[in-house]
């Protein structure tokens, strides 16, 4: 029977707990049952999850619209005083929201008629004179469009993020090396929050290292652990959502054999697996120590900010690229359809894709302006407008999408 790696309590069947090594709120799928006790599991859950959700949900949300196997709880975000719910079907208005009406009166905006009805039923208990149906009939129906993009606040990389990175890598170490014996309790104390921040064995910006071919084709989580017998050091590397490249000293007096081992999770394509990294972390123990000692969180904020905005764009563009590839394949099989059927089908599906990823609003006005005198022709103009918008967006991130050329060929060369 093992002991909990953090509090050292013996893990019997009552105390055992399935732990997500990479937290579920980050889309993590790697699990283990033999590492930590139920108490530590729930302590980390309450301590880390909220801070992580806030940081990463806007990256994860569009990815899960494509990868339906990522089971993530719906999350509430606030924008201009209104609350929205990010669900696996898209973005919805959440809860009644007060808004000042035209005469200075306070209106309540409800996400649905059902939610207004529930609210009125509750009110009726206090005030029986309320006529529920009449109030519903007299209320205005207004479609609320989310006109602005969600504001993504880059928060400082704080202690919780450092420690959560530590927790992930340390659990991965025990998951792979069951017989590992730490030389002291330094790293455990760091994860548990019992260490001065000036002593943290972590550097959250180590972007020079690439354990796999640096592909921009998906969004990954990557963990690498490396033990070195001759220099007696055990280090870890963690890459979260293609950013936050983190280097950690897991053991400063490592006594075991040399090894290197990696794990990756491809969030978009829903694949995961262990791998042998292309190269070693490649730093001497002294260099690693210097890197960590001289690491200044404020200095890296700018780089981190740029990187995270880039990932935010990629997390929308990569799923759209995949959706377009699927659409191109379906169109290929519809070769027998008539010209108008083909262009109508293409247009309707493009709108579904744009809407799901929150891009339809940007195009709605210009699409509405297209005259519909000649139905088949108007579909083609609309498709052209959508593609020129997408090509522009993709070009900014230097992503090529052959699927668009394929679709254009099929829809336009048909004539
Ligand atoms: Zn424990």
Tokens (6 digits) for 267: 């969030």
Per-residue pLDDT at 151: 64
Distance (angstroms) between ligand 1 centre and the Cα of 37 equals: 4
Per-residue pLDDT at 148: 61
Rounded distance, CA 402 to CA 214, Å?
21
Per-residue pLDDT at 175: 94
DSSP state of 143: P
Per-residue pLDDT at 414: 56
Distance (angstroms) between ligand 1 centre and the Cα of 15 equals: 9
Distance (angstroms) between ligand 1 centre and the Cα of 42 equals: 10
Per-residue pLDDT at 152: 64
* pTM of the predicted model as reported, rounded to 2 decimal places: 0.86
Distance (angstroms) between ligand 1 centre and the Cα of 43 equals: 9
Distance (angstroms) between ligand 1 centre and the Cα of 188 equals: 11
Distance (angstroms) between ligand 1 centre and the Cα of 322 equals: 42
Distance (angstroms) between ligand 1 centre and the Cα of 17 equals: 10
Tokens (6 digits) for 102: 């035209």
CA 41 to each of CA 6, 9, 35, 38: distance values in angstroms, whole numbers, following the listed order: 10, 13, 10, 5
Distance (angstroms) between ligand 1 centre and the Cα of 172 equals: 16
Distance (angstroms) between ligand 1 centre and the Cα of 178 equals: 16
- 3-state DSSP of 283-334: CCHHHHHHHHHCCCHHHHHHHHHHHHHHHHHHHHHHHHHHHHHHHHHHHHHC
Per-residue pLDDT at 101: 65
Structural domain spans, the chain? 96-138, 155-295, 302-412
Per-residue pLDDT at 72: 84
What helix, strand, coil percent values describe the chain, rounded to 5?
45, 20, 35
Sites in the chain below the pLDDT cut of 50: none
Distance (angstroms) between ligand 1 centre and the Cα of 28 equals: 21
Residues 6+ apart with CB under 8 A from 223: 22, 168, 169, 172, 236, 237, 238, 262, 263, 264
């Amino acid at each position: 029977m093992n002991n909990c790696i953090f509090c050292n309590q013996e893990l019997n069947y009552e105390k055992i707990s399935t732990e997500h090594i990479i937290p579920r709120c980050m889309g993590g799928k790697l699990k283990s049952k033999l590492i930590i006790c139920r108490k530590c599991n729930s302590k980390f859950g309450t301590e880390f999850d909220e801070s992580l959700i806030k940081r990463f949900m806007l990256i994860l949300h569009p990815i899960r619209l494509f990868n339906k196997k990522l089971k993530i709880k719906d999350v509430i975000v606030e924008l201009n005083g209104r609350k929205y719910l990010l669900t696996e079907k898209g973005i919805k208005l959440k809860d009644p929201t007060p808004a000042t009406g035209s005469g200075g009166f306070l209106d309540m905006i409800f996400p649905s008629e059902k939610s207004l009805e529930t609210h009125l039923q509750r009110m009726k208990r206090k005030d029986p004179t309320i006529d529920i149906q009449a109030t519903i009939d007299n209320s205005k129906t207004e479609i609320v469009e989310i006109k602005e993009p969600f504001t993504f606040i880059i928060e400082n990389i704080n202690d919780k993020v450092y420690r959560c990175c530590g927790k992930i890598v340390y659990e991965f170490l025990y998951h792979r090396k069951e017989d590992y014996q730490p030389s002291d309790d330094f790293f455990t104390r760091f994860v548990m929050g019992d260490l001065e921040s000036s002593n943290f064995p972590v550097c959250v910006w180590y972007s020079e290292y690439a354990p796999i071919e640096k592909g921009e084709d998906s969004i990954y989580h990557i963990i690498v652990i490396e033990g070195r017998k001759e220099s007696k050091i055990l280090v870890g590397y963690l890459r979260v959502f293609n950013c936050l490249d983190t280097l950690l000293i897991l053991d400063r007096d490592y006594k075991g054999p040399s090894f290197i081992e990696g794990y990756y999770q491809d969030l978009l394509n829903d694949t995961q697996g262990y791998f042998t990294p292309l190269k070693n972390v490649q730093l001497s123990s002294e260099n690693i120590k210097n890197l960590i000692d001289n690491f200044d969180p404020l200095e890296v904020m700018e780089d981190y900010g740029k990187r995270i905005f880039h990932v935010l764009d990629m997390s929308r563009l990569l799923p759209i690229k995949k959706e377009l590839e699927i659409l191109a394949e379906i169109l290929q099989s519809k070769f027998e359809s008539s010209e108008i059927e083909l262009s109508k089908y293409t247009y309707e599906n493009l709108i579904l894709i744009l809407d799901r990823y929150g891009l339809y609003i940007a195009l709605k006005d210009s699409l509405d302006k297209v005259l519909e005198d000649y139905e088949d022709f108007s579909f083609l103009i609309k498709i052209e407008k959508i593609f020129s918008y997408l090509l522009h967006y993709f070009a900014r991130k230097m992503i090529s999408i052959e699927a668009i050329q394929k679709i254009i060929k099929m829809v336009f060369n048909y004539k």
